[in-house]
Amino acid sequence: KNEVEQSPQNLTAQEGEFITINCSYSVGISALHWLQQHPGGGIVSLFMLSSGKKKHGRLIATINIQEKHSSLHITASHPRDSAVYICAVDQGNLIFGKGTKLSVKP
């Protein structure tokens, strides 16, 4: 079993839909990162969480340390949100999930 599990692996949505991507982990962590990677592009950090909830524009990230679970939400999704979203847990080193490929159709 992988230490970091993301779901779903692939997600197709219509423009305007509310999107949720989940991340579960099985190790102790000091923080959790949500990252975005566009096709052929570099990786950009969206959020770093150690507790609670953070919001940036249409993106919201939450973490439940007791349940070892985090979610990334996108409100009013747009085709430009199409990318791979990666969860990574920080325990000194970083352990990455396999990513969720999101495609938002106009």
Q: Which residues bind other proteins (CB under 8 A)?
A: 30-31, 33, 35, 42-45, 48, 50, 86, 88, 90, 92-99
Closer residue to other proteins (CB): 5 or 17: 5
Are the CB atoms for 7 and 97 separated by under 8 Å? no
Listed residue (41, 46, 34) closest to 90, CA to CA: 34
- Residue with Cβ nearer other proteins (72 or 99): 99
Nearer Cβ to other proteins (8/16): 8
CB contact at 8 A, 84 and 36: yes
Instruction: Give the Cα separation of 76 and 6 in Å (integer).
Output: 22
Q: How far is the CB of 40 from other proteins (least distance, A)?
A: 10
Q: How far is the CB of 88 from other proteins (least distance, A)?
A: 8
Question: Measuring CA to CA, how many Å separate 51 from each of 3, 40, 47?
Answer: 19, 32, 12
CB of 94 to other proteins, least distance (A): 6
